[in-house]
Chains A and B, each alone.
Chain A
């Protein structure tokens, strides 16, 4: 039992034990009781935690199987990190079609959560670029899945939170790029209306769009922030250096430095900080700024933090976002990283894929017990009334009612779930949803 298998948000804290897998041919491990496949543990809440069972640590399945630089098809084991793929393929002119905000996730985890990125409006989510994968069931069956190959198993496993069995390997379609560089534009916007206008315009001109917002701003400043849009760029002339190695937060401070005062100061300064509108950035800097601070989650202290990401449909988005930001600002529980983006219309291929048309807002809150949980419950109401949903990969607390209503296909996934697989998240939300 070890803290090494805590979830990324360090909340909830459930004791975990794990068995490491090393070979994709080794078969279903002989373990009594329930298991849960686990990648690199970047899920924030309890979807990567076993509930009394045993984690299957998949990180030892970290071998490439084949990469064809003429077609951009890459096959690898499920424990390969997205960052390892980029290291191999970017020099040969290929990039992940979809990447989340950290490269420290496994391919298996990216499939299980059908992760999305700043280019959702162009490319959809991760599962849209998975050509096939192998699913190992606890009865020993190995099922080769693809969009046209066992589509039921494919759709329940993409976004299926690891519950349908163990993905042992996968084949991905990468996209062509000229090199590691991006042409990035950063624009300050004064309020939410300005965000929607900028997003609509930028989604036509740019592959990648995302905004940081100052979630503590109120009144006429509500929803102000910085809009970042980018396209892959040819290698620039002149001197541009790849970012240096990462630093690590060495320990978890007893008292978190993230508090009302530092949050307010940070948000104000970040908004005001003068920056040049155009820059050429390395993909590591642009996509993965937080990966350069290893173990940054420790900054939230011993009690950890909760991440909240919701999506609200286009029609109700402006009003719902205003209400959400109002509730947060009134509560004073700000977030360092408030990220806002418009999803596109490409449907996810998973039964439980989170992305859907509308605006998605991601926030993190230091965990303070009841006040934090109460605020998030109020946000859930707004999201549910707007017809939206909350992201399971980041959740540690939504009620079964919210989950059941916003992911109506959950019972289909339940019917495809491997009888030996269970997560703390799934037990929590489905017990509740059945009531």
Chain B
């Protein structure tokens, strides 16, 4: 029975992952902005067999409450084994191009809030010489593209931060897992036309996250085929890439 803190727990991928954790009896502590929706998720996970489920309403951008969140989670569950960071927004790229404030706000949510929280988590796990940090980044962070580079830049920052963190915490026995989903059919992507073989369900992503944690992986592309796709995309010379419409 693991003790798991999930930040952004009302997101589709987080809910699907939490269901798998609940089914095996893990203890859960959930944080998200909307308390009534957190409560719906809590009821669901309790019915599905979670060892315990507690919730805390929290805006992940409110850095002043990060320490309190970790303390509350640790106290409620009697410890902390896994932190899954799943919150984020899909910015409207065009709106960001027209507004500095929107660009910075979205980077704040997708990157700075994550980094702030992880700094505290890392220190805690390093001191305890154990723990798993699992963070949902994105394939979008692997290369900047004109269609969503604000999102990509934030996710890229997260991926790079995690890479450094992993290097730092390897000696302390702390697993740092970078999760890079491709296209996932969730409410976050409601504005995009879906369908076709590249789109995955949150349940499939969740199963991949759990397997990656169990196997002690460092970076996981979900589904797996995004690894070769992104390898090719990263290998295209910039001189060519800048001409592409991606």
Binding site for B on A (CB under 8 A): 2, 4, 20, 22-25, 60, 63-67, 76, 88
* Chain B: number of interface residues, binned into ranges: 10 to 19
Q: Does B195 contact A (CB under 8 A)?
A: yes
Q: Does B232 contact A (CB under 8 A)?
A: no
With known contacts A64-B48, A88-B48, A20–B40 Cβ distance under 8 A: no
With known contacts A4-B195, A23-B40, A64–B47 Cβ distance under 8 A: yes
Q: Would you call A25 and B187 a contact (CB within 8 A)? A: no
Q: Would you call A20 and B43 a contact (CB within 8 A)? A: no
Contacts of A2 in B (CB 8 A): 195
Give chain B nearest CB distance to A99 CB in angstroms: 19
Contacts of A66 in B (CB 8 A): 43, 47
User: Contact partner of B47 among A4, A22, A65, CB < 8 A?
Assistant: A65
Contacts of A4 in B (CB 8 A): 195
Sort A-B residue pairs by CB-CB distance and give the 8 closest, nearest first. A64-B47, A63-B44, A67-B47, A22-B187, A64-B44, A65-B43, A63-B40, A23-B37
C-beta contact mask, B41-64 vs A, less than 8 Å → 1, else 0?
A: 101100111000000000000000
Query: Could you tell me the distance between the alpha carbons of A119 and B204 in the complex, rounded to whole angstroms?
Result: 35
Contacts of B40 in A (CB 8 A): 23-25, 63, 65
Contacts of A22 in B (CB 8 A): 12, 187
Interface of B: prevailing SS: helix
Q: Does B127 contact A (CB under 8 A)?
A: no
Interface of A: prevailing SS: mixed
Contacts of A65 in B (CB 8 A): 40, 43-44, 47
Nearest B residue to A23, CB-CB: B37
Binding site for A on B (CB under 8 A): 12, 36-37, 40-41, 43-44, 47-49, 187, 190, 195
Query: Could you tell me the distance between the alpha carbons of A65 and B43 in the complex, rounded to whole angstroms?
Result: 5
Query: Could you tell me the distance between the alpha carbons of A2 and B196 in the complex, rounded to whole angstroms?
Result: 11
Contacts of A20 in B (CB 8 A): 187, 190
Give chain A nearest CB distance to B125 CB in angstroms: 31
Query: Could you tell me the distance between the alpha carbons of A63 and B50 in the complex, rounded to whole angstroms?
Result: 14
Q: Would you call B187 and A60 a contact (CB within 8 A)? A: yes
Query: Could you tell me the distance between the alpha carbons of A63 and B38 in the complex, rounded to whole angstroms?
Result: 12
Contacts of A64 in B (CB 8 A): 43-44, 47-48
Known: A25-B36, A63-B44. 6 other contacts (CB 8 A): A4-B195, A25-B37, A64-B43, A64-B47, A65-B40, A67-B47
Nearest B residue to A24, CB-CB: B40
Give chain B nearest CB distance to A353 CB in angstroms: 29
Give chain A nearest CB distance to B34 CB in angstroms: 9
Contacts of A24 in B (CB 8 A): 40
Give chain A nearest CB distance to B193 CB in angstroms: 9
20 CB-based A-B contacts, threshold 8 Å: A4-B195, A20-B190, A22-B12, A23-B40, A25-B36, A25-B37, A25-B40, A60-B187, A63-B44, A64-B43, A64-B44, A64-B47, A65-B40, A65-B43, A65-B44, A66-B43, A66-B47, A76-B47, A88-B47, A88-B49
Query: Could you tell me the distance between the alpha carbons of A60 and B15 in the complex, rounded to whole angstroms?
Result: 11
Give chain B nearest CB distance to A13 CB in angstroms: 17
Contacts of B48 in A (CB 8 A): 64, 88
Give chain A nearest CB distance to B190 CB in angstroms: 7
Query: Could you tell me the distance between the alpha carbons of A66 and B42 in the complex, rounded to whole angstroms?
Result: 10
Give chain A nearest CB distance to B197 CB in angstroms: 12
Contacts of B190 in A (CB 8 A): 20
Give chain A nearest CB distance to B189 CB in angstroms: 10
Q: Which of B36, B37, B47, B187 has the most CB of A within 10 A?
A: B47
Nearest B residue to A26, CB-CB: B37
Contacts of A25 in B (CB 8 A): 36-37, 40
Q: Would you call A63 and B41 a contact (CB within 8 A)? A: yes
Give chain B nearest CB distance to A397 CB in angstroms: 29
